[in-house]
A and B are shown apart, each in its own frame.
Chain A
Amino acid sequence: MKKKLLIIPTIFFLLILAAFFFLLITDRNPSELPSALLNKNVPKFEGKSLFKDKKIISSQIFVKEIVLVNFFATWCKPCLEEHKYIKRFSEKNGIKIIGINYKDNDKRAIEWLNKLGNPYSDVIVDKKGNVAIDWGVYGIPETFIINSQGIIKHRHAGPLSEKIYKKINLIINNIE
């Protein structure tokens, strides 16, 4: 009787072991957090435009088409790395991209974009990082996909790569 009972904890232990092993081998990134804003309306914000001398209000941007929102800065190395993919989205896929220039110097940002090419249809200046907080951003670069109804469908934290470019493309196609 006692020996038989001992089997139960052994099985239990093996089950826990299997669960841990499964979690260990599956490809998970613990720093990747789901956005609290997923499937919610774009946060309302307004800010100065980098190039034009005008105020940009969020309600004017997100209408009738899919928009990418990309947080970037000239001091951020990964932003430089992902720039070609952002460009590809605007040039090849013809997607409207809004850039949010996070805690940056205006002059340097304009120079940076003139040199590398400007894929953004508008760039909003976020000197103090308040817009970023409204979007739940915790480290740039971050990219959001917004559908034609102004609802956030996807958030990617970190730089874009070939793999993520394809993934975002797939999501955009699925929205349409």
Chain B
Amino acid sequence: MIKKKFLNKIIIFVFAFFLLQIIQTNIWSVEPEEILKNQKYELRARNISKNIRCMICQNQSIDESDAPLAKDLRILIRNKIKDGYADKEIYKFLIDRYGDFILLKPPFKLNTFLLWLLPFVFFAIGIFIIFVHNKKSKKT
């Protein structure tokens, strides 16, 4: 009986946890008057906004930020989409002005290749160490 109660508690906890996740991922700052009527365009704008850093808050995307500059950039992205710009061109427009830092994900470049590759290198070293260690302990 006690066990069942405990299990129920866990189920509720897990459920609440996932519910919280869903609610959290749905937080955005796009204001009603910003939203484009064309749903396809709006979706594109949202996707771009999610990858663009809010330069004021720095660890938020402009999709989530209430900062005035984030709002300006959201509107700018939407206007560019309406004007027929491709996603790539919009990214380039923003990078030309604000630098790579405006992308939340650093691009793979000559000066960032260590950043991207080092985790894999360390992972390989780790596997190698475990492998060597195992071999040694099996012998003894």
| Residues in A lying within 8 Å of B, measured CB to CB | 31, 33-37, 43, 103, 128-130, 133-136, 138-139
Determine if A33 and B97 form an interchain contact, defined as CB atoms under 8 angstroms apart: no
Within B97-137, the residues touching A (CB, 8 Å) are 97-101
* Nearest neighbor of B71 in chain A, beta-carbon distance: A129
Q: B33 within 8 Å of A by Cβ?
A: no
20 residue pairs from A and B, CB less than 8 Å apart: A31-B58, A33-B55, A33-B99, A34-B99, A35-B99, A36-B95, A36-B97, A36-B100, A37-B97, A103-B68, A129-B68, A129-B72, A133-B72, A133-B76, A134-B97, A135-B97, A136-B98, A138-B55, A138-B56, A139-B55
Residues of chain A within 8 A of B69, CB atoms compared: 129, 138-139
Known: A36-B100, A130-B76, A133-B72. 15 other contacts (CB 8 A): A35-B99, A36-B97, A36-B98, A129-B68, A129-B69, A129-B72, A133-B73, A133-B97, A134-B97, A135-B97, A136-B97, A136-B98, A136-B99, A138-B55, A139-B69
| Cross-interface CB contact of B96 among A33, A34, A36, A103, cutoff 8 Å | A36
Residues of chain A within 8 A of B95, CB atoms compared: 36
Residues of chain A within 8 A of B100, CB atoms compared: 36
Residues of chain B within 8 A of A36, CB atoms compared: 95-100
**B58, B72, B97, most chain A CB atoms within 10 A:** B97
* Size bracket of the B interface: 10 to 19
B contact patch SS? helix
Query: Please, how many angstroms separate the alpha-carbon atoms of A34 and B55 in the complex?
Result: 12
Residues of chain A within 8 A of B68, CB atoms compared: 103, 129
Query: Please, how many angstroms separate the alpha-carbon atoms of A135 and B96 in the complex?
Result: 10
B68-103 vs A, Cβ < 8 Å mask (1 yes, 0 no): 110011001000000000000000000111111100
* Nearest neighbor of A135 in chain B, beta-carbon distance: B97
* Nearest neighbor of A30 in chain B, beta-carbon distance: B58
Query: Please, how many angstroms separate the alpha-carbon atoms of A37 and B99 in the complex?
Result: 8
CB of B23 to closest CB in A, whole Å: 29
* Nearest neighbor of B96 in chain A, beta-carbon distance: A36
Closest 10 CB pairs of A and B: A36-B99, A138-B55, A136-B97, A136-B98, A129-B72, A138-B69, A36-B98, A138-B56, A33-B101, A139-B56
CB of B106 to closest CB in A, whole Å: 14
B48-79 vs A, Cβ < 8 Å mask (1 yes, 0 no): 00000001101000000000110011001000
CB of B72 to closest CB in A, whole Å: 5
Residues of chain A within 8 A of B97, CB atoms compared: 36-37, 43, 133-136
Query: Please, how many angstroms separate the alpha-carbon atoms of A12 and B75 in the complex?
Result: 49
CB of B18 to closest CB in A, whole Å: 34
Query: Please, how many angstroms separate the alpha-carbon atoms of A37 and B69 in the complex?
Result: 18
Determine if A138 and B72 form an interchain contact, defined as CB atoms under 8 angstroms apart: no
